[in-house]
A and B are shown apart, each in its own frame.
Chain A
Amino acid sequence: MGKTSIETRSLNLFYGDFQALTDINLTIPANEVTALIGPSGCGKSTLLRVFNRMNDLIAGVRVSGRVLFGGKDIYASDADLLRLREKVGMVFQRPNPFPLSVRENIVFGLAVHGLAPRQEYDRIVEESLRSVLLWDDLKDKLHHSALKLSLEQQQRLCIARVLPLKPSVLLMDEPCSALDPIATLHIEELMQKLKKEYTIVIVTHNMQQAARASDHTGFMYLGKLIEFGATARIFTKPGQELTENYISGRFG
């Protein structure tokens, strides 16, 4: 295992009185794909949203323990939340481009943050679309509405929308659940390409997807991280009975 991207230490998370995450200790390696699996309500999406602090949007959330990103605790009182979300991008379950043109979707983050002069936009749009393998399809449709694209293209665009901010981590929350099997495979291939430049954490319901597309897998159950390790090992020789029961489909 190479460099570490994100690390949690004794992480607990509460929604009011309900404890959603219990004592999570997890190390996410840089430039690899890490999958979080587990039955509905196990806390895998909550854990994903810890990494860019999107849980902050929910009233009554409390977090204890430490979450280190680049060596700094992202929950420290002096942490820069906006900077964190630039560096840790997120792709959501449903493709959700803004009802703007393809180009406007991609430059949205740049425009908000004033990250690059306008002359750079063309180059950045092309780069971002090339990264998600959409350039050839969309280079003549940059001013078309993003909502007219196919769902797969929309989801690729949502990935491309994050890239101009030069993140180091991409969080993907069941990114293929709205897509058909072919499109799902395409996105998985894309993840393999993107992991050279980005650390990817993906939450998925689909165990085949975790097995196919990830390097490391964490299995969660009732808010606890039951097991974490290389995907090949988790799926062939799970160390815990719970993990084995889940991946063999005995519950879930």
Chain B
Amino acid sequence: MNPRLAQKIAHAVMLTATLLVVLPVLVILVIIVAKGASAISWDFLFSMPRDGMTAGGIFPAILGTLYLVLGAILFAVPLGVLAAVYLVEYSSDNWFSRLVKLSIVNLAGVPSVVYGLFGLGIFVTFFRFGASILSGSLTLGIMILPVIITSAREALESVPRHFRVVSLSLGASRWQTIRHSVLPHALPGILTGMILGLGRAAGETAPILFTVAAFYLPRLPHSVFDQTMALPYHLYVISTQVPGIAENVRYGTALVLLSLVLLLNLAAILVRSRFRGKKKW
């Protein structure tokens, strides 16, 4: 075949493939915004549901999701970052560290419904936390651990070796070296992972299904041992379980959830690009 023609066809095929990838995202966005935007109001965002959730707002679901995400982060970030520091800075390359790394990779591949069942078995039943914010946060926390650990490891590994060597040569201990000349330079990368984890935790339904999410609660949760409503589950409920809910309420809820997750991802991208801009070594 004529190479110029072949080139044109190849270009066209690849461009089409790329457009096909972007298309669903655009379509989803357009449909959700078109059908949901009319529901968004101050009242919708900040008031309780009324009349069997057919009217009023989705405030308890928004608040519940924020609680759950916050709890997951509080649990997963310290644990994940400390584990990553151990793996990168302390452990040598032996069977144990390889096993840990392998488990982390596998953990990332576990379907989210399995985390839900795991949380039900461990936190709800075994530790008797019941269906509660605590159980849900811990379950979500475990689910996002691989994201946190992996991004923290990458961030730590990208800090040049000579930072550590120089610091040690100045008489700093290993921990002082990590504290003063490794962690500060890895922080933006760790933060990026944290925000990505946040976004993931905010959007998942299956892990909270059995561990915390309430169908409907007339009041806001008072403690970590209370159940709460949450955006993803609430969306599922009003879309499939409760008849007679206006279309724009359902799409409006989806729009709120989507915006929340997109905002978090956008924040991650901003942090990362700032980091890239400042990184000079």
- Using a CB–CB distance below 8 Å, which chain A residues touch chain B? 52, 54, 57, 59, 82-86, 89-90, 92, 94, 96, 98-99, 108-109, 111-113, 145, 147, 158, 161-162, 165
Contacts and interface: CB of A to CB of B under 8 A. Distances in A.
Interface of B is mostly: helix
Interface of B: 92, 162-163, 165-173, 176, 180-181, 185, 279-281
Given A83-B171, A92-B165, 6 more contacts: A54-B168, A82-B172, A92-B162, A98-B163, A108-B170, A145-B280
17 contacts: A54-B169, A85-B168, A86-B170, A86-B171, A89-B170, A92-B165, A94-B162, A98-B163, A98-B181, A99-B185, A99-B279, A99-B280, A108-B167, A112-B176, A112-B180, A147-B280, A161-B170
Nearest to B159: A99
Contacts of A108: 167, 170, 180-181
Contacts, number: 59
Contacts of B171: 82-86, 109, 112-113, 165
B170 A165 contact: yes
A113 B168 CA distance: 12
B167 A99 contact: no
A212 B201 CA distance: 65
B178 to A, nearest CB: 11
B165 A109 contact: no
Contacts of A165: 170-171
Closest 9 CB pairs of A and B: A85-B171, A86-B171, A90-B169, A109-B170, A112-B172, A96-B162, A82-B171, A112-B176, A147-B280
A57 B168 CA distance: 9
Contacts of A84: 171
A162 B279 CA distance: 24
A109 B166 CA distance: 10
Contacts of B169: 52, 54, 85, 89-90, 92
A45 B280 CA distance: 28
A26 B180 CA distance: 36
By CB atoms of chain A within 10 A, which of B167, B169, B279 has the most?
B169
Nearest to A96: B162
A162 B169 CA distance: 9
A98 B166 contact: yes
Contacts of B165: 54, 57, 92
Contacts of A145: 280
